[in-house]
Amino acid sequence: MKSLFQIFILLVTSILLSCSDDSPTKQGENIVCGIKDPIKNLKWLNRQFKQFIGGPGTNGIILYNYNNRQVIEVQSGLFSSTNQHQYYCDGERLQLNDPIAFNKFRRTRINVSILYGTNMWN
């Protein structure tokens, strides 16, 4: 009976995820990195967005404030690390190879919004 319930939950979850919209969240009048619709208008971010495999349930683009700057984190269920995908607005990658630097980033960043998908690395 327990496995039947687990299959039912898996089926419902799959249906809900398959019905979701695969387009980026509309930012409306919000300005990110000085522009509207950063996923479309920041070339470096648009290239990464187009490489996503799967939809919003397995990928995310998250906006943070860190050290008084906007930082965009690109998340994918296929990435093998979580400390190599944080970028300033100009596409420059944050250097978070050192575990101390990465832990500081995680502790002191401020979550602003989800630009696309799911915040998987929360």
Rounded to the nearest integer, the mean pLDDT of the chain is: 84
Supply the pLDDT for residue 19.
45
pTM (2 d.p.):
0.76
Q: How do the domains of the chain map onto residue ranges?
A: 29-117
Supply the pLDDT for residue 31.
84
Q: What is the pLDDT of residues 23-79, one digit of tens each?
A: 454 444 468 999 999 999 999 999 999 999 999 999 999 999 999 999 999 999 999
pLDDT band at 11 (very low <50, low <70, confident <90, very high): very low
Q: How many residues does the chain have?
A: 122
